[in-house]
Amino acid sequence: MKYFLTLLIISGFLLAYEIDFAEAKKVNGIYELPIKIKAEEDYVALQFKIKYDQGLKFEGLEWGDITKGSLNALNDKIPNEIRGAIASATPLPREGTICTLKFSGSGEVKIEEFLINDKSAKLLKEKVVLKKK
């Protein structure tokens, strides 16, 4: 039994969901910041909470390639906070872009929480700083 529990715990770490910020691009004065996923097992839902500095203005969100055919929700009513959710009746793609966040200004963007099928995702890069050059 002891070995079974150890194997179960280790397998939980191996079957992870990895979330990462891709490199931000600046298009017409707006930063486009993609969030990517790489999953080792199927999932049908995810939710996230993102916080950003007051020096940034949220300009919108574009859902990514993995969200086709899913239900998507966005809440940006709380200042300096974005909450999003995706749900699907069938498994979503294991790799791709979840969404692209759009900001003007400069400051830090941080993933506060990211859940996939009610499990915490592994964040490869928790925050990114968008600076005017």
Q: Compute φ and ψ for 2, nearest 5 degrees.
A: -60, -40
Q: Compute φ and ψ for 56, nearest 5 degrees.
A: -105, 150
For the segment 56-66, the average pLDDT, to the nearest whole number, is 97
By the 10 Å C-beta count (0-12 exposed, 13-18 middle, 19+ buried), 15 is classed as: exposed
* Listed residue (108, 113, 119) closest to 24, CA to CA: 108
* Residues 6+ positions from 115 with CB-CB distance below 8 Å: 46, 47, 48, 121
Domain housing 86: 17-124
Token pair in block for residue 107: 């400051």
114 in any annotated domain:
yes
Q: What is the pLDDT, as a whole number, of residue 14? A: 47
In the structure, what pLDDT confidence band is assigned to residue 133 with cuts at 50, 70 and 90?
low
30 in any annotated domain:
yes
Contact between 101 and 61 under an 8 Å Cβ cutoff? The reply is yes
25 in any annotated domain:
yes
> How many structural domains does the chain have?
1
In the structure, what pLDDT confidence band is assigned to residue 132 with cuts at 50, 70 and 90?
confident
Residue type, position 86, single letter: I
pTM score of the predicted model: 0.86
* Residues 6+ positions from 108 with CB-CB distance below 8 Å: 52, 53, 127, 128, 129, 130
Contact between 43 and 88 under an 8 Å Cβ cutoff? The reply is no
CATH number for the domain harbouring residue 52: 2.60.40.680
* Residues 6+ positions from 52 with CB-CB distance below 8 Å: 58, 80, 81, 82, 103, 107, 108, 109, 110
DSSP state of 90: S
116 in any annotated domain:
yes
102 in any annotated domain:
yes
